[in-house]
A and B are shown apart, each in its own frame.
Chain A
Amino acid sequence: MNDAAVEQFSARCYKSDIKPIWCPGCGDFGVLASISRALVQLQVPPQQVAVVSGIGCSSRIPAYLNAYGFHGVHGRALPLATGLKLARPELTVLVAGGDGDGFAIGGNHFLHACRRNADLTYIVMDNQVYGMTKGQASPTTAPDWSLGQLTPGGPGMNPFLPLVLALGSGANFLARATSSDPGGTANILVEAIRHPGFSFVQVLSPCLTFQPEQRHWKKKVRPSPVEPTSDPVRAARRLMTDDNFFVGVLYRGEREPYQEPVVELQSELSALESEFEVRDLAYASSKVNAR
Chain B
Amino acid sequence: MAQKRLSITVAGSGGAGVMTVGNALLEAAGLTGWYAHMVRSSGPQIRGGEVAAMICVSPEPITSEPAHCDLLLAIDWKNIDRFGDEISLTGNSLVVCDPELGQAPASIGDSAARCVEVPLQRLAGTIKGGRPNMVALGVAVQMVGIPRQFVQATLEKVFQGDQRVKAAMAGVDAGFAAAPAADGLASLPLPTAPCTGRWSITGNEATALGALHGGVRFAAGYPITPATEILEWLALTLPKIGGTFVQAEDELAAINQVIGASFGGVPAITATAGPGFALMMESIGLAVAAEVPAVVVNVMRGGPSTGIPTKSEQADLNIALYGLPGDAPHLVVAPTSVNDCLNATQWAVHLSECLQSPAIVLSSQALGQTRIVDDKPAITGTDAARDVPEMIEDNYQRYRLTPSGVSPMSLPGMAGGRYTAEGLEHNEAGIPSVRAGDHLQQLNKRRDKLTRFDYGEYWADIQGAGSTAIITWGAPTGAAWEQLACSGKFDGGLRLIALRLLAPEQPERMAAALDGVSRLLVVEHSHGGQFYKYLRSCYDLPDDTRLFCRPGPLPILAAEIACQLEQWNKP
Q: Which residues of A contact B (CB under 8 A)?
A: 18, 45-48, 50, 52, 55, 62-63, 66-73, 75-76, 78-88, 90-91, 108-109, 111-112, 260-261, 263-266, 269, 272-273, 276-283, 285-286, 288-289
Contacts and interface: CB of A to CB of B under 8 A. Distances in A.
A86 B422 contact: no
Interface stretch (B26-34, B46-54, B82-90, B110-118): B26-34
Interface residues of B, number: 75
Interface in B456-493: none
Contacts of A63: 420, 422, 431-432
Contacts of A83: 218, 220, 246, 256-264, 268
B248 interface: yes
3 closest Cβ pairs, A-B complex: A282-B33, A83-B260, A69-B420
Contact of B418 (A67, A90, A265, A276): A67
B239 A76 contact: no
Given A79-B254, A88-B264, A276-B376, 11 more contacts: A79-B252, A80-B259, A80-B260, A84-B260, A88-B261, A111-B249, A260-B245, A278-B27, A279-B153, A280-B198, A285-B191
B250 interface: yes
A289 B190 contact: yes
B240 A264 contact: yes
B239 A109 contact: no
Given A72-B256, A79-B253, A272 B412 contact: no
Given A278-B31, A286-B33, A266 B240 contact: yes
A190 to B, nearest CB: 21
B261 A87 contact: yes
Given A80-B260, A285-B33, A276 B290 contact: no
Contact of A69 (B33, B191, B259, B419): B419
A2 to B, nearest CB: 24
B264 to A, nearest CB: 4
B194 A81 contact: no
Contacts, number: 212
Scoring B196, B256, B417, B424 by chain A CB atoms within 10 A of each residue's CB, the highest score goes to B256
Interface stretch (B67-75, B95-103, B199-207, B296-304): B199-207
B282 interface: yes
B241 interface: yes
B502 interface: no
A18 B432 CA distance: 10
Contact of B260 (A79, A263, A264, A273): A79
23 contacts: A47-B415, A47-B416, A47-B417, A47-B418, A62-B420, A69-B419, A70-B263, A72-B423, A73-B285, A79-B220, A79-B254, A80-B256, A82-B260, A83-B218, A83-B220, A84-B261, A90-B413, A108-B250, A260-B239, A266-B240, A278-B198, A281-B149, A285-B33
A88 B147 CA distance: 52
Nearest to B217: A87
B504 interface: no
Given A47-B413, A72-B286, A269-B213, A283 B241 contact: no
Nearest to A62: B420
Contact of B253 (A70, A76, A88): A76
B27 to A, nearest CB: 8
Contacts of A48: 412-413
A204 B42 CA distance: 54
Interface string B485-508: 000000000000000000000000
B193 interface: yes
A87 B259 contact: no
A73 B261 contact: no
A109 B273 CA distance: 21
B141 to A, nearest CB: 13
Scoring A83, A260, A261 by chain B CB atoms within 10 A of each residue's CB, the highest score goes to A83
Nearest to B424: A71
Contacts of B259: 72, 80, 83
Contact of B421 (A70, A85, A112, A288): A70
B200 A276 contact: yes
Contacts of A79: 220, 248-249, 252-254, 256-257, 260
Contacts of A281: 31-33, 149-150, 153
Contact of B212 (A84, A269, A288): A269
Contact of A86 (B200, B241, B244): B244
B190 A286 contact: yes
Given A84-B263, A282-B191, A286-B192, A47 B414 contact: yes
A68 B398 CA distance: 11
A265 B240 contact: yes
A266 to B, nearest CB: 5
Given A68-B412, A263-B239, A269-B212, A18 B431 contact: yes
B158 interface: no
Nearest to A87: B261
B283 interface: yes
B209 interface: yes
A68 B410 CA distance: 10
